[in-house]
Structure 1
């Protein structure tokens, strides 16, 4: 995988294109080719107003042959950097990269932390990363994930505040807000700093070897991202591991600021972090857990998933048994005293239950009435700073009630403010939101139009298999080559317990192909992992996972078997209760929604690719007719 941008040209070529009125046309064309979908009008205005201000400076300094990459995608996600300038360093001749972040802001005020700012005066405004912090994160991603940059290049970062004067932005100057940064690497320039900006460009850029360096950079391999579970022990116990960009950074810093404010007596608030699959919710959660606990803050991670929590514990316990105790369940806080902990990080909060006690008995005189409280209320009360991370389209089981509306209603009833933060960018599925959108449109989730043709992507592989055996063969080759791969299916076959010796029954039978579900056992036996470790144990490939063992996890390649509980009749989807063997789902009123959500989750576990197969011929034909390549 190499780096990609919407448009590449020298500053001279861009100047000519701008003069001829062709810049927006070329960028629109690049957007359609690389990304597709609707283009934000604000982004177009930024292109129109911001790019020429930098190009003009380059030409004024005799840097017209410097190469310019417009809207370069970061190596690990769909986040794009506004401009990256490439030439050689004037003093040592090394490759020189300058990341330019263009801002059209006219005004900004400090946020709750030095790393955050506000650009609105509205009471419900959302925080933005300080632009200096934002470009620093971009720099770190380039260095961390492109070995060529790490070993061969000098990287600088400039913030171009071309619509504001220095006086307009006095309030967010790093020295004013207390932001710690390296001024030799990152600088911010306003409209009245153009001479300083030109000098800074001249000091770090020369057009010599620019054409050679830009090709080397664009062709340089990108290091693959690590899955959460492989490095969670480092993140929780030792150091920051994952790069946080844009809204991820805003969410992380906002929670840390809320902890500080809470200790100083500020009114309590709930932080609500919302995002689809692959937007980094769990990465934010574990990074917060590690950073806060290393600072002496009492922080705890909670989920409603046994598999997810036990896997987190198992990975962290190998390094630090005490740190592994930081992982708990939503139903663990019925008897907690208010503010028993500093921060409660509720991951996968769509899996919240109405109450923590399913055995409530109003006639039991020994029954603790506190157990009748809503589970979300218990969690809010238990922590000084409660944090909820959720995706409303991951409700997959009857009794799961976690939603934005519920959390807001309960918080409002308690007189507690809610601070929402939306995660927009995709960090899984090859950093391709196009794939996630395609899956959601395919399944009729949240989009006005239904299934759409598949457009192949450079960073994500998608196939349809003629048979499950072909799917397995493809995924096994990936597994044998060192990637992680798993097959998961809709719950459309019976599920037997392991035999006394630990071996499994081949419950999933499709024609003459048959495989077992993942083990229901609590411990590994005869090399077969328990259900909680199916997604991460090397031997998990040999069993078929289900929604309960796949949700919350990720692996390089995902195989998804659509069962007969969801089929395409040629014009629309039909859901079939009788085909579903999950008693938690097939009796639910919202059965159709839960089944569609299930396949959305299973289809978005893959970091690099997915293979689809349906037991229903019409449904498998739909995948082919939409243009998905056939294995």
Structure 2
């Protein structure tokens, strides 16, 4: 096995010819070595299921390749795609006769013997207790990545195939039929009977789309392995056109001023190329001032620049997935969830945009450094780093930074810093009055005056049933509406529906005792089961059916909807002396063991965030009777029947 993994030649577990792989893949010592190498590369060991898949699929693959007469081709196992963080099961490298350019064949290996799916969604399969993407579509994603991220100077041709070495003809035929006539049909699906070694070698090689490939000279393989992956200009242009063609991200007022200042900073660094100067642009602003819209439009602007290599990063998986969808599938790899390590493919001329930097991790467990180390490393790597910050959205002790901390870090390293403060309000119906009122309500010493009304629809709800009725009425009127709550109930539902009704609230009134129960939003990252009314967690705030579940800070932060209902749990109660925190009432393991006064800051920030998701209206309700009385003293009661 090559020692290539972890070097400039890329990250993978095996690097050699098919003939060399035959000698090793059945050796338990080889698998143990791969486990160690994987752990060193990725920080965690592979799961037991993944290790078993290596033991079972690798020998089946190399046997088929040998039987196909392809022993001289170069093979990479668990080949890492640095732009996305995903891994290709196997990548074959060879040359067509009479050419001096490489052809790469992506191979997705599956042990499946059965799978099922809904005819209305043929590209989403149920395998065991998991829902997965159709393997041909998965291969297509890898092929498109290599087409779009590997330099044209290599002259690389990319193909793909699915190898289901245990699958019978019925399953293989059904999988082929599911993609017939679509783009994924370009990638052959081969099963157990297609790989029978008694067949003529050329027949097997043809099925694997490798019949025209032969040995690739070592210098070509070496060049491929050492090539840095970065998005091609054509990909950047497509993503920019997609964003610029959307009417969801218009910039006006100080938003557009901020965009121009950021572009000036980028242009200034370009004019000083070679001086290794680092510039930081800090964009601060409260909820609804357009930080995310600026970040996405700036990403489109940067993608259109010659030699561009931009990244749009976000510590929130929910927001980064929403941004990727807004920018189009091609943006995958350029828009990333950013938590503990630097994205790959950055160069000295890269520009990184980091939305919601207040959620960046500072230290595992508790905050021990005044500035997130990973952000500091990012700044040292890129020509320009643009950070979008709202200090009052820090909701965990392991997250966040402040403008003053950033100034000190920049001075310490000699970086140039530009600060842009956004003041114009675009969310909450443009109501600065509402934002100031919410800021006063959810602050340590806040004593807001009773709400006087105005252009924003704000009221108090008497019961959770009333909250739900208000929300559903807006859904039926074609508007977006959601219920979000403090993390004061357990969250143990399985990823697949039915979800457990864990948010449970009891109350009494003149008509007797009542109970209202609803599930939290799904924990799954993809559409779950056959229930289209349960969107994955990243799309709870936007997709059909999300109003039937209750969101929390981790699925609502960074997103918005027309109307937002907020349930204050017993972790934050109002007393005669002000707000009091009860961390023991929280089910958030990152917070519930904090001292009450420290927890109070995070609780106030959390409910402030939840109360600023609605662009047109908000309803507030508390499970604590005393806090309910306090809200009733400040707000009109929703006129709808409780």
Question: TM-score, length-normalised on structure 2?
Answer: 0.56
Indicate whether 1:451 and 2:445 are aligned: no
1:405, distance to aligned residue in structure 2 (A): 2.2
CA–CA distance in 2 between the matches of 1:245 and 1:315?
A: 19
Decide which of 249, 255, 264 is 1:257's aligned counterpart.
264
- Number of the residue aligned with 1:441: 440
CA–CA distance in 1 between the matches of 2:241 and 2:478?
A: 21
- Number of the residue aligned with 1:484: 480
Indicate whether 1:276 and 2:276 are aligned: no
Decide which of 489, 500, 512 is 1:493's aligned counterpart.
489
Contact 1:510 1:615 in 2 (8 A): yes
- Number of the residue aligned with 1:516: 519
* Matched residues, number: 380
CA–CA distance in 1 between the matches of 2:241 and 2:358?
A: 27
Q: Indicate how the Cα distance of structure 1 residues 269 and 309 shifts in structure 2: closer, same or farther if over 3 A, else same.
A: same
Contact 1:333 1:382 in 2 (8 A): no
Decide which of 567, 578, 581 is 2:584's aligned counterpart.
578
Q: Indicate how the Cα distance of structure 1 residues 470 and 570 shifts in structure 2: closer, same or farther if over 3 A, else same.
A: same
CA–CA distance in 2 between the matches of 1:437 and 1:234?
A: 37
Consecutive unaligned residues in structure 2, runs of 5 or more: 1-238, 507-514
CA–CA distance in 2 between the matches of 1:393 and 1:258?
A: 27
- Number of the residue aligned with 1:611: 619
Contact 1:235 1:287 in 2 (8 A): no
1:587, distance to aligned residue in structure 2 (A): 2.6
Aligned residue runs from structure 1 range 34-53, under 5 A: none
CA–CA distance in 1 between the matches of 2:246 and 2:305?
A: 12
Deviations 1:234-267 (A, max 9, x none): 7625367534333212210011111111111074
Question: TM-score, length-normalised on structure 1?
Answer: 0.57
Indicate whether 1:566 and 2:576 are aligned: no
CA–CA distance in 1 between the matches of 2:343 and 2:565?
A: 42
CA–CA distance in 1 between the matches of 2:337 and 2:525?
A: 17
Deviations 1:604-629 (A, max 9, x none): 00000001100011111111111333
- Number of the residue aligned with 1:312: 323
Deviations 1:397-456 (A, max 9, x none): 1200322122222221111121111111110001001111111111225xx652321110
- The alignment's C-alpha RMSD in Å is 2.4
Indicate whether 1:299 and 2:294 are aligned: no
Contact 2:278 2:380 in 1 (8 A): no
1:269, distance to aligned residue in structure 2 (A): 1.8
1:509, distance to aligned residue in structure 2 (A): 0.4
Q: Indicate how the Cα distance of structure 1 residues 240 and 385 shifts in structure 2: closer, same or farther if over 3 A, else same.
A: farther
Indicate whether 1:290 and 2:289 are aligned: no
Q: Indicate how the Cα distance of structure 1 residues 382 and 322 shifts in structure 2: closer, same or farther if over 3 A, else same.
A: farther
- Number of the residue aligned with 1:198: none
CA–CA distance in 2 between the matches of 1:384 and 1:504?
A: 46
CA–CA distance in 2 between the matches of 1:335 and 1:358?
A: 23
Q: Indicate how the Cα distance of structure 1 residues 239 and 259 shifts in structure 2: closer, same or farther if over 3 A, else same.
A: farther
SS at match of 2:591: helix
